[in-house]
Structure 1
Amino acid sequence: MTGKRSGFRGTTAVVGAGSTPYHKRGTSPFTTPQLVLQAIMAACDDAAVDPRKVDGFVSYGHDSSEGLVIGAALGVDEVRWSSEVWGGGGGGVAAAINMAGAAVASGQAECVAVYRGLSENTDGRRAYNKGYVSSLYSAHGMFTPVQICALRTQRLMEVEGVPRSALEAVSRAGYFHARTNERAVAYGRSVDHDTYTGARVVSEPLTLFDCSRENDGAAALLVVPADRVDDYRGDPAYILAGVQGAARGWSESAENEDHYSSAGFHPALVERLWGTAGIGPGDVDVAQVYENFTGPAVAAMIDHGLCPRGAESGEYLTLENLTVPSGTLPINTAGGNIAEGFVHGIGLAVEAVRQIRGGSPNPVKDAEISLLIGGPMAPLVSSTVFGSRSAL
C-alpha cells in the first residue's frame, strides 16, 4: 500500500445501512419523505440505535426531503447538521457521505443520516434530472441524460478505442449479481451475450441493457465518529478517504469539456483519493461503480486507474473479472443501478458498506477495501473509500 495518509482517514465510520424495496417508477404507495423515513429507520435498526439520536442529515441531487422536515418526523432530540450537495446529480452520492464524514470529524454532529429517496408520485418523472438539461441541449433535440452520455460514449469508443465488450461486461456483471439478490428488480434474471447484443438501441451506441432503471424507493447510511463505533451493532465500515469536485475545463460550458470522454475524475482528484486512503487502485477488493449508463462507468474505472485505457480496457473488463467469486475486481455486487434498482445511486452506497459490514447478496471474501464511485460524466463527481478494521 502506498501514498501519504491524511488526518481524515479512519476518523469516521458507517455503522448502519437500510433501504426500502424497489418499486417500478410511479407505483410506490408512499411519498418520497415516507420512503426516506423508512430507510433511515431501517439503518437505525441495523445499527441498534434510537432514531431520536440521529442529529444530522445529508442528501444530494435536489432531494425533496429536507433534513429539518425528516428530523421533525423522526422526533429527533436535536438537528445539529442539515445539508445537501450542490450539482452533479448522481455525482453527489459519494460527496454526501464525504460531507457527513466532515461534519462528524469536525464535531458538528455525532450521528448523521445520509439518504436519497425518490417517488415519482411526489417528485414527478425524472426528478433526478431537473435543471440538468439546459436549453443548449434541448435546442439541438437532446432532452435526456442517455443522449448526452451516448455522445461521450461514442467518442470513448471511436477515438480512444474502448471496445463494446467492455460496456457489455459492466452490464452483464450487474445482471449476474442481481440474479441472487432478492431485493433486486432483476432478481433471478440473466442477460447473456445474445440478449445484450440483440437489445434495441436507446441512443446509439447505448442499448436497453446499457441503461439504468427508474424506480421509487430510498436508502440511508449512518455516519458516526470512529471512537464511538462500539456503541453500535455490527462491524463498522470506516471512511478512509473521500473526494469530490470538478477540474478547470470540466462543465464550464455544456459539451465544452477539455476531456470530453473522461468521466470527470481528473488526475489531481484521483491522486488525493488514493493518497488520503493510503492505498492504490490495486488494493481495492470490490467496487460499486455508478452506471447511469455503461459507457460512463467504463470511463470512471479508467479515470481511477482500475483498468487500462483504450483497447486494452477490454482485456481487463470481462464478465469473469468483474464478478464474484473469482473476479479480480467484482463490481456492482448487488446489481447496481442497471439491475438492482435506481434511486439515484444510493443503493450503490449501501452495497459498498455491506461488503464491509456484511449483508451483501454477493459478498467478496475477506474484503477489506470497498470503493464507491459517484455518478460519472456529471458536472460534479465524487468517490469514497471504505475499509474494515484491519485496513486501518
Structure 2
Amino acid sequence: MKAAIAGIGATEFSKDSGRSELQLAAEAVFAALDDAGLSPGDVDGLVTYTQDTNQEIAVAREVGIGDLTFFSRVHYGGGAACGTVMHAAMAVRTGMARTVVCYRAFNERSGRRFGQPDARLGGEPSSQGLEMSWHVPYGLMTPAAWVAMFARRYMHVYGATSEDFGRVAVAMRRHAATNPAAWFHGRPITLADHQDSKWIVEPLHLLDCCQESDGAVALVVTSEDRARDLRRSPAVITAAAQGAGAGQMMMTSYYRDDMTGLPEMSVVGRKLWEISGMGPADMQTAILYDHFTPFVLTQLEELGFCGRGEAAGYVADGGIELGGRLPVNPHGGQLGEAYIHGMNGIAEAVRQVRGTSVNQVKDVSNVLVTAGTGVPTSGLILSSP
C-alpha cells in the first residue's frame, strides 16, 4: 500500500499577513482538506517542523480535528520539508494514522526574519551552540554568509562565475512572472538586473537570495487507494528519503575534505533512486530548494543530472527553464514565488503531477522534490497514479 498526497492548500503569500501564524496554519489546513474533499474529522495525524510555532494540538483545536493517533516534528529548518511528507507516509503505511496533514506556517517577513544576524546562536548551551561558537563570535552569523563561503570555494575549484548563479535567479523569476500566486508575478529580471543588485555577502548578490515571506502551506497524505476516491487526482509518493552527510554541521560544514558539494543531498538522491528504481532521466521536472542560487547548481550535480563542476553548463541557455532539458521550479521557487520553507514547492510538484500548474510541463509522470540544503535534508519522488 503506497501513500499519496490527496490535497494541497495555501494562504496568499505576502510580506505582512496581518494575522497570527496559528491563523495562517489553520487557513492552509482548511484549504488542503477542501481540496481533498475531506473534513477536519477525517484527520488523525499532524506533522510539522520543529521550527513551526504552532503546536499540533493547537492546530487541531482551531481546525476542529478530533483525536490524534500520530503527531511528529522534523528537525533542521528547511531540510524538514520533504521529511514531513515521509513521516506522514510512514504513519499511513504502518496504520498509525489514516489521514495526516503536514503544515508549515510563519510570518517570516513581518515577524522573526531568518536572514537577520543573531549573535545568541553561538552562546546556546547545546550541541548546535557549540558548532556555532566556531564562527558566530567572529561575525559569520547569517545564512547568506554561510553559503557565501561554499560559493566562493565552488567558484575557485570549478571556475563558476556570478553570472552562472544569476542564470538560476533569472529562470526562477521568469517562471514566477507567469504565476499569479507568486510574489514576483509579472516581474521578471534580466542577468544585468542580477549583476546590478547590491552585494549581500560576496559573491552573493541580493538576487541570489530567496525571499522572506509570510504565509502557510498544508498537504493531506493518505493511502493511494483512498486518495483515488477523493476529489482530486492524487500524487503518489513513489519514494521519500532523509539524509545527513559525514561530518555534517548546520550550514557550516567547512571541515570536510571537500566543501564544494552537498554530500547530504547525495545521500538523499541515492536513496530515492534506489527505492524508486528510477534515475535522473525519469524526471520530467524538478523542484529544487532554492534559498540561495549556488546550491541549485550543486544539487544538480549531487543528484546526478550532470557531473561535478558541470552545472553551470547545464543551466546555460535556459537549461532549467520551461522548455529546457530539466524545467526547475515552474512556480518560481523560493526566489520567485515565496519562501515557505520548501512546502510551497511540494504543492507545486503535486500540481505538476495533476496537470494543473499555471506553468505546466508536458507529460509529467514523475517529479523530484528536494528540501533545504546546507543542513540535513530530505527529498521526494511524486508520480502520477
Q: TM-score under structure 2 normalisation? A: 0.92
SS at match of 1:333: coil
Question: Does 2:299 align with 1:305?
Answer: no
Checking the alignment, whether the CA contact within 8 Å between 2:10 and 2:32 is kept in structure 1 is yes
- What is the CA distance between 1:267 and its match in structure 2? 4.2
Q: Give the aligned residue type for 1:301.
A: L
Partner of 2:152: 154
- Against the structure 1 CA distance between its residues 15 and 285, is the aligned structure 2 distance closer, same or farther, given a 3 Å change threshold? same
The letter for the 2-side match of 1:186 is F
Among 10, 14, 27, the residue aligned to 1:38:
27
Which residue pairs with 2:67 in the alignment?
A: 78
Residue aligning to 1:383: 379
Using the TM superposition, give the Cα deviation of residue 360 of structure 1 relative to its aligned residue in structure 2, in angstroms: 1.5
The residue aligned with 1:96 is 84
Q: What SS does the corresponding residue of 1:139 show, helix, strand or coil?
A: helix
1:23 matched residue in structure 2: 14
- Whichever residue aligns with residue 328 of structure 2, its letter is I
Q: CA deviation at 1:160?
A: 2.9
CA 109–334 in structure 1, closer or farther in 2 if over 3 Å, else same: same
Letter paired with 1:17: I
Q: Which range moved further: 199-208 or 154-163?
A: 154-163
Separation in structure 2 between the aligned mates of residue 34 and residue 216 of structure 1, nearest angstrom: 12
SS of aligned partner of 1:184: coil
Q: Deviations over 1:322-376 (max 9, x none)?
A: 121x211101111111011112121111111111124322011110111111111
Shift of 1:284: 0.8
Alpha-carbon deviations, 1:278-315, whole Å to 9, x = none?
A: 100111111111111001121112110122321x3222
Report the Cα distance in structure 1 between the residues aligned to 2:317 and 2:97, rounded to whole angstroms: 42
Q: CA deviation at 1:198?
A: 1.5
- Partner residue of 1:119? 107
Larger mean Cα displacement after TM superposition, 264-273 or 334-343:
264-273
Distance 1:263 1:60 in 2: 22
SS at match of 1:93: helix
TM-score, structure 1 as length reference = 0.90
Deviates most, 249-258 or 290-299:
249-258
**Deviation digits for residues 116-135 of structure 1, max 9, x if unmatched?**
11125996232999867823
Q: What is the match of residue 124 of structure 2?
A: none
Gapped regions of structure 2 (runs ≥ 5)? 122-127
Within 5 A, what are the aligned runs for 1:1-392? 11-24=2-15, 27-86=16-75, 88-120=76-108, 124-126=112-114, 134-251=132-249, 255-265=254-264, 267-310=266-309, 312-318=310-316, 320-324=318-322, 326-378=323-375, 380-389=376-385
Deviation at 1:148, TM superposition (A): 0.1
Secondary structure of the 1:231 match is coil
What secondary structure is seen at the aligned counterpart in 2 of 1:143? coil
Percent identical among aligned pairs is 33
1:17 Cα offset (Å): 0.5
Which whole-Å CA distance do the structure 2 matches of 1:373 and 1:366 have between them?
Answer: 21
The alpha-carbon distance between structure 1 residues 121 and 94, as it changes in their structure 2 partners (threshold 3 A), is: closer
Residue 68 of structure 1 aligns to which amino acid in structure 2?
Answer: I
Query: d(CA) in 1 for partners of 2:43 and 2:342?
Result: 22
CA spacing shift, 1:151–1:29, aligned 2, 3 Å: same
1:223: how far off?
0.6
CA gap 1:243/1:103 in 2 versus in 1, 3 angstroms = same
Q: Distance in 2 between matches of 1:286 and 1:120?
A: 28
Paired residues of 1:92 and 1:382 also in contact (CA < 8 A): yes
Task: Report the secondary structure of 1:265's partner residue.
Answer: helix
Specify the SS of the correspondent of 2:318: coil
SS of equivalent residue, structure 2 residue 319: coil
What CA distance in whole angstroms lies between the structure 1 residues aligned with 2:213 and 2:330? Answer: 18
What letter is aligned with 2:3?
Answer: T
In structure 2, how many angstroms separate the alpha carbons of the residues matched to 1:143 and 1:149?
A: 11
